[in-house]
């Protein structure tokens, strides 16, 4: 067993887990952060995407023990400082960028990191940004609209 400590959304959390514990299960089962969803467990769907030291990664393809000491941001950390919806969450809400919501945590984290680096994407770039995330409900149109809306909100054009 290994003692693993990570900072999740600004809070230091630890648990003792076997080496085989995936980061996705560590977050959900050991730390109770169930916002991160698990779809395929082989890197294809993107539902489990979290930010590791600020960059999007698949939490189902990492062992918790391997990222001991890291800073993680999950969908729970994409909220506004007052606890309300963050800009990307607000945009998905306004544009109906989700239906069942299963894929949404992966989109929110991916888009949050993308817009930090590309604050003013074109529609084509917005599509490219979400190319690694699968959604079985929405048909993506409203997700693309949400990315563009989130960018506008963040630029202060709310």
Ligand X SMILES: Cc1cc2nc3c(=O)[nH]c(=O)nc-3n(C[C@H](O)[C@H](O)[C@H](O)COP(=O)(O)OP(=O)(O)OC[C@H]3O[C@@H](n4cnc5c(N)ncnc54)[C@H](O)[C@@H]3O)c2cc1C
Give the footprint of ligand X on this chain (CB under 6 A).
43-44
Q: What DSSP letter does each residue of 9-26 carry, written as one string?
A: TTEEEEEEE-TT-BHHHI
Please report, for residues 74, 102, 147, the alpha-carbon distance to residue 62 in angstroms, rounded to integers and kept in the order given.
Answer: 15, 20, 27
Smallest distance from another protein to CB 139, Å: 15
Q: What is the DSSP letter of 61?
A: G
Rg of the chain on CA atoms, in Å: 15
Angle at 33 between CA 94 and CA 158, to 5 degrees: 20
Residue 3 binding result from ligand X, another protein, ligand FES, none, given CB thresholds of 5 to 8 Å by partner type:
none
> With respect to ligand X, which residue has the nearer C-beta, 57 or 91?
57
- 73: tokens are 């941001």
Give 22's strand partners.
63
Residue 55 binding result from another protein, ligand X, ligand FES, none, given CB thresholds of 5 to 8 Å by partner type:
another protein
> With respect to ligand FES, which residue has the nearer C-beta, 1 or 58?
58
> With respect to ligand X, which residue has the nearer C-beta, 61 or 158?
61
Footprint of ligand FES (CB under 6 A):
38-41, 43-48, 58, 60, 98-103, 135-138
Footprint of another protein (CB under 8 A):
2, 18-20, 22, 25, 41-43, 46, 49, 52, 55-58, 60-63, 65-66, 110, 128, 131-132
């Amino acid at each position: 067993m290994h003692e693993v400590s990570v900072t999740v959304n600004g809070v230091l959390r630890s648990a003792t887990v076997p080496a085989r514990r995936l980061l996705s299960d560590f977050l959900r089962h050991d730390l109770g952060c169930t916002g991160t969803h698990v779809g395929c467990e082989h890197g294809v769907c993107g539902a489990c995407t979290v930010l590791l030291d600020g960059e999007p990664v698949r939490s189902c393809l990492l062992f918790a023990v391997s990222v001991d000491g890291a800073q993680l941001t999950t969908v729970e950390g994409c909220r506004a400082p007052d606890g309300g919806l963050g800009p990307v969450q607000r945009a998905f809400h306004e544009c109906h960028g989700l239906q069942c919501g299963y894929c949404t945590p992966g989109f929110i984290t991916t888009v949050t990191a993308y817009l930090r680096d590309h604050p003013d994407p074109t529609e084509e770039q917005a599509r490219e940004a979400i190319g690694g995330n699968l959604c079985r409900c929405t048909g993506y149109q409203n997700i693309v609209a949400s990315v563009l809306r989130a960018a506008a909100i963040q630029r202060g054009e709310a």
